[in-house]
Amino acid sequence: MTQSPARPAGSRLRSFGNGSASRLASRVLIAGLLAFAGGVFSTPVQAQTPAKADEDAKRANLSDLADFVHYVKIARYDAAKSSWLSLQARQLSDVDFVQLVEASGDVARFDDAVQKASRTAALSDVGAAMMQKYEKGKLSRARHPSEIARNISELTGTLRGKLLAQERLRAAGEYAMPQLLEAFLDQSNPARRAEARLVIAGMGRNAVTPLCAALMNMPPAQQEQVAMLLGDLQWRTSLPYLADCRESTSSDAVRAACNRAITALGGTEATTADLYVELAEAFYSEKPEVMSFPGEEFQLLWEYSPAAGLTMTEIRTPVYHEARAMRLAERALALQSASGGANPDTVALWVASNYSRELDTPAGYVNPAYPVRGAAGPGLSPRRGAEYFGVAAGADISQRVLGRALDTKDTPLARLALAAVERTAGVKALGDGSSARLPLVEALGYPNRRVQYDAALAIAAAQPAAAFPASDRVVPTLASSLRGASSLYAAVICDDTEQYQMLRGLLQGQGYTVMPQGRTLGDLEAPIAESPAVDLVVLAGHGADRAAAMINEAGGTPKTSATPVLALASSDGYAELRTRFEGNPRVAVRQVGIAPEAITTSVSGLVNTASGGAISADEARAYAARAVRALRDLAVSGGDVLKVSDATLPLVGAFADAQGQVKLDLGEVLARINAASAQGALADAALNASGDERIAILGLTAQSAKRFGNLLESRHTTRVVELASTGSDADATAAAALLGALNTSSGDVVPLILKKP
């Protein structure tokens, strides 16, 4: 039998391909193989429904929260932190976190665990984060418009529902006012209207600002109702609005309601403009009673129109007070202008608030209350920067702003005011007797060298025509900026010598000259008096009461009243001290024993915030150049008030160290001082120089000689004769011109004549 040839693999299957039976067999075989492969290599997964996924996530969240509470209770802090990190990774919103805590069934147990975590070093940051998230979530939920609407509707429901609604609306605070005011004004639902009024009355201060914003723009019937409500609230911050409404209304009923409210608030004899100014001052000073949401990132500005009702605009907290102060001052200025003229102090309040707004605006933030040109968003009308209004207001207003800055130790504001004074002040700025106070003069003694230099430059630019107190300090202050403007001085007050040495080393590494150790501020009285300024005070290792007393003492001592203070407090006094000085930009509180790097960082941050940081080398050179120009202008003018001769010695010293154009400018100043030391310094510099600089300074020395005669020593004359005899043509000619100006004896020139080439 003939054997068939071997078939290639796979041909057996293909041999069944002619009939339906073979096709069926193929499908069965393939299906079986696929099923086998699926069973070996994978497990079929049923798609999870969204509802099931949500339920699983909720169970996981509840489990992590329960674990956190449990582990805190049994002091397993590492496991507690792990549970929090697991929960945090799911990125629950603040409101969702609140709902999770409530779903756990034991809010009190959660609260106890968080409080314990906050007091435990290993979990203090976790406890603080959880509590902040929980509190923010409760606020966010209470403030949501739909939640507010639901709670208002429940005011007329069951007793329990009404009580809960009242509590939640009060928690929402100002955020509930648009809908509450609408319910209060709605005559079609008397029951709800009465309940809304009760809630508003119970909100106290939180209801006053929105109601005042609405009062001025309502129809008379509604004004009457709101005025009576403001009288019941018993907050005097509504007085200017009530007085304004009383004066501007044509309705007798509204006028009577305003009068009753003003009487209920204790009455007032002040003008409406003065009431607005008083309230503006409270905002400018950032008094706690005018802050609606302490510790929060945003505050609210309010507007009212009959069409839109009460509307709110969120504004960043750092610029909220300035926005309110400016609005109130603007209304006061409008009233003052209509009745005889704007008060300069009110103008100064507005300008100061505007400067502060500019200083406090967070980087990149578009202020809805004051959008500046080039940074205004859609629908916002841009305004000019604060400098524009500062210089437009004139030197008198700028000095009033400066006075405010000096009183509050606001160094950045003082510098802006001084810059405006320098650009606008004239010869009568300090001598016309129009004001008993001279802020420019006060600024010369302000405990910050930038302010001292700026004040001296501003006074020099004004070139006052008459003497004034401390006029003899202006030129020496300018001269002191020529050398050592970038030097730094620090005082360290502590009991422990080893701790003092550690801090001294750190501060020296940051460029500070550190005074000797002191255990009290009084111990350092002499070094502080001898230093040009005190740039930093460090307190270390004291309890809360002693450290607070030292901080207050430093603030009350003239030389340190604006100096930044870093308090390294003991562990038992840290929390109390930090609470006492929270919000004070000139004080930073840290725990003693923190890492050296943390101390260095704290020093830099504090000094930057409080005084603009250390004067850099570039800034020091800029101050020196400005001072030289100012001194040269004073020397050229030859006035009798600011005499450059008062600073001859420091000018001579600065001239010896200077280089380039600054040296020539200083030489021009010295050439106008009638002093042998000034003329001698010029001659020394000329004889030791070369090239164009030598020729220029020889010329300045000749100018001095022409003005004041020969004040040189014989050694100078001998060297000048030698240079005139042996120098290059240019040097010799310049030296010969100096000889002529010195009017020396003819015997000095005869050798030059007889000398053979």
- pLDDT tens digits for 277-320? 999 999 999 998 899 998 899 999 999 999 999 999 999 999 99
Q: Percentage of residues in the chain with pLDDT exceeding 70?
A: 90
* Integer Cα distance of 533 and 510 in angstroms: 17
Q: Exposed (0-12), middle (13-18) or buried (19+): which is 86, by Cβ within 10 Å?
A: middle
CB 550 within 8 A of CB 542: yes
- Calculate mean pLDDT across residues 691-718: 94
Lowest mean pLDDT among 104-108, 174-178, 465-469, 566-570: 465-469
pLDDT digits 0-9 by tens, 727-749: 888 999 999 999 889 886 544 55
CA 337 to chain CA mean position, Å: 33
Asked if residue 14 has pLDDT above 60, the reply is no
Report pLDDT for 23: 35
**14 or 105: which leads in pLDDT:** 105
Which tokens go with 298? 């945003």
Distance CA 430, CA 356 (A): 26
Burial class (CB in 10 A: 0-12, 13-18, 19+), 156: middle
The arithmetic mean of pLDDT across residues 349-355, rounded, is 98
421, 439 contact by CB (below 8 A): no
- Is the model's pLDDT at 43 over the cut of 60? no
Q: How do strand 309-316 and strand 488-494 relate by DSSP bridges?
A: unpaired
Residue 173 vs residues 64, 109, 178, 293, 370: alpha-carbon distances, Å: 33, 27, 11, 9, 25
Find where tokens 């003239």 sit.
558
Residue 407 confidence class, pLDDT cut points 50, 70, 90 = very high
The alpha carbon dihedral of 661, 666, 667, 669 has a sign of: positive
CB 176 within 8 A of CB 148: yes
| pLDDT greater than 80 at residue 37 | no
Are 177 and 208 contacting, i.e. CB atoms less than 8 angstroms apart?
Answer: no
> Where does the pLDDT of residue 699 fall: very low under 50, low under 70, confident under 90, or very high at 90 and above?
very high
What size, in residues, is the chain?
A: 757
Per-residue model confidence (pLDDT) at position 209: 96
Is the pLDDT at 13 greater than 90, yes or no?
Answer: no
Phi, psi of 456 (to 5 degrees): -65, -40
CA gap 346, 274 in Å, rounded = 9
Query: What average pLDDT does the chain have?
Result: 87
With cut-offs at 50, 70 and 90, classify the pLDDT of residue 374.
low
255: number of Cβ within 10 Å: 19
pLDDT of 35 over the 60 cut: no
In whole angstroms, give the CA distance from residue 637 to residue 198: 73
Q: Structural domain boundaries of the chain?
A: 55-143, 179-352, 488-613, 618-754
Could you count the other beta carbons within 10 Å of the beta carbon of residue 235?
17
Q: Which long-range contacts (CB under 8 A, 24 or more apart) does 549-552 make?
A: 550/493, 550/520, 550/521, 551/581, 551/587
The whole-angstrom separation of Cα 463 and Cα 631 is 11
**Whole-angstrom Cα distance, residue 156 to residue 276?**
38
- Residue 345 · residue 213 · CB < 8 Å: no
Helix (H, G, I), strand (E, B), or coil: what is residue 117?
A: helix
Nearest CA-CA partner of 284 in 349, 362, 205: 349
Bridge partners of 518, per DSSP, are 493
Q: What is the pLDDT of residues 659-684, one digit of tens each?
A: 888 899 999 999 999 999 999 999 99
pLDDT for 748: 54
- Residues 6 or more apart whose CB falls under 8 angstroms from that of 433 comprise none
Asked if 545 contacts 394 with a C-beta cutoff of 8 angstroms, the reply is no
Apex 481 CA angle, 479 and 482, nearest 5: 70
Q: Which position has the token pair 């007798």? A: 252
Q: Could you give phi then psi for residue 559, rounded to 5 degrees?
A: -75, -20
Instruction: At 717, list the tokens.
Output: 């004359």
* H/E segment holding residue 512: strand 512-514
Q: Is the pLDDT of residue 42 over 60?
A: no
DSSP, res 689: -
Encode pLDDT of 147-167 as tens digits.
Answer: 999 999 999 999 999 999 999
Residue located via tokens 């001095």: 704
Of 212-226, 313-327, 530-544, the one with minimum mean pLDDT is 530-544
The residue type of 144 is H
Q: According to the model, what pLDDT value does residue 357 have?
A: 97
Task: For residue range 595-641, list pLDDT tens digits in order.
Answer: 999 999 999 999 888 878 888 888 988 998 899 999 999 998 887 88
Written as six digits, the tokens of 76 are 């397993």
Domain 488-613, architecture per CATH: 3-Layer(aba) Sandwich (3.40)
Among 116, 182, 136, smallest CA distance to 155 is for 182
Report how far apart, in Å, the C-alpha atoms of 732 and of each of 15, 682, 705 are: 122, 17, 17
Using DSSP's 3-state secondary structure scheme, residue 616 falls into coil
Spatial distance between the Cα atoms of 251 and 258, rounded to a whole number of angstroms: 11
Residue 305's SS3 state is strand
Collapsing DSSP states into helix, strand and coil, what is residue 296? coil
88-143 pLDDT, tens digit per residue, is: 998 899 999 999 999 888 889 999 999 999 898 889 889 999 998 998 898 889 89
